Amino acid sequence: MYIQRAIMPYIKNYLDKNKIIIIYWARQVGKTTIAKEVFKWKDYRYLNGDDIRVQKLFEEQTETALSEIVKWYDYIIVDEAQRIKNIWIKLKIIHESYPEKKIIVTGSSSLDLANSVNEPLTWRKFELILHPFSVSELLQQKAVINVEDNLNQWMITWLYPDSVLNYDENLLYDLVNNYTYKDILIFDKIKKSENLIKLLKALALQIWNEVSYRELWEMANLNPKTVEQYVQILEQAFIIFRLQPYTLNERTGIKKLRKIYFRDLWIRNALINNLNPIDLRTDVWHIWENFVIVEFLKKMNNTLDHSSCYFWRDWWKEVDFLVMKGGELYWYEIKHKSDRWKNFNYIKEQLNLTTFEVVNKSNFTSFIN
């Protein structure tokens, strides 16, 4: 079954503007599927960057040699492009020679892509992120997939296409072990994989809480610079993300702390070796907060919304999630079942709130639509 992805219209729109489309995210989220779907009725050339033969095709950097790769095709897919040496310079040469060709490029992480794409392809590309399925996308398939019945399961196993369409726990373990770390562990700044796992386990125990790098290096027994470096790499690899505190003023704001969440709760739950159902867990509130925020970020991404997101805390109270949009702040408290905001009167008085909402299971789908 093919599920329509929300970013599809943007891909088609920017291809029509003769932009190279670059689609980022970790492996197994459907990047290849969506690229092939765009060109479904076209005669396209598919080039897999994991294939040594394809890497050799791109070894030459002359216009003549690169022309031989694409000249017989108007539609080209370059999959796992981060595996091809100097791919962006070569794509620049191809685009200058054949600006009319429609090219889609995918990459499993931003480690190499984001750091090297900007200069060679300035003004020639349009970047998109393809998340795992969003609940919003699955709501469009209500006749086939019952969202309400599956929500608790998705909070544990997450929303990779294989886990939604063909649930198999072994496939998910394979995803964690053979795909998640594949691109990260070859990155030259990751010296020891056990250090990375140690840090990830420390982070897995800290979702929902505010953390400092000092706490993390004490928990993982790593030096502070290594922790900060690894956190940045894990964020670039789409495994975690950070929420920074929103500071109203120097007196009440706590600026040094941040919240770190997992993009993929399956990885988080596997790291702490807890795949128990939601109704048997003691960390359901933490998982729910992580789940809701990630689904909101997917909504932003899928609509090209570039609003800024934060949390807020003073020395006494906290607000889970803030969104700065169009110069206005929207405040949200995330509860698994309750519709009460226990500290609302204090926070309203302190912050002069006009827009606020409690997000729970009963109104979750409207929040992320």
Kindly report the three-state secondary structure assignment for every residue of 22-39.
EEECCCCCCHHHHHHHHC
What pLDDT does residue 251 have?
A: 47
How confident is the model over 114-140, as a mean pLDDT? Answer: 81
What pLDDT does residue 252 have?
A: 46
pLDDT in tens, 318-361: 889 999 988 888 889 999 887 777 666 777 776 666 678 899 98
Name the residue ranges covered by the structural domains of the chain: 8-129, 135-367
What pLDDT does residue 21 have?
A: 95
Average pLDDT, the chain: 83
| Structure tokens, 295 | 């689904």
Residue type, 161: P
Q: Give the end-to-end CA distance of the chain in Å, rounded to a whole number.
A: 22
**Separation of alpha carbons 120 and 93, rounded Å:** 9
Q: Which CATH number among 3.90.1480.20, 3.40.50.300, 3.40.50.2000, 3.40.50.1370 corresponds to the domain 8-129?
A: 3.40.50.300
pLDDT in tens, 245-267: 887 664 444 556 789 999 888 88
Burial of residue 283, with CB atoms counted within 10 A of its CB: 0-12 exposed, 13-18 middle, 19 or more buried:
middle
Q: At 313, is the pLDDT very low, low, confident or very high (cuts 50, 70, 90)?
A: confident
Instruction: State yes or no: pLDDT of 185 exceeds 80.
Output: no
What pLDDT does residue 205 have?
A: 87
At residue 164's C-alpha, the angle toward residues 161 and 167, to 5°, is 105
Q: At 171, is the pLDDT very low, low, confident or very high (cuts 50, 70, 90)?
A: low
Print the SS3 string covering 128-160: EECCCCCHHHHHCCCCCCCHHHHHHHHHHHCCC
Instruction: State yes or no: pLDDT of 272 exceeds 60.
Output: yes
Instruction: State yes or no: pLDDT of 238 exceeds 60.
Output: yes
Which of 258, 366, 251, 231 lies closest to 314, judged by CA?
A: 251
Residue type, 12: K
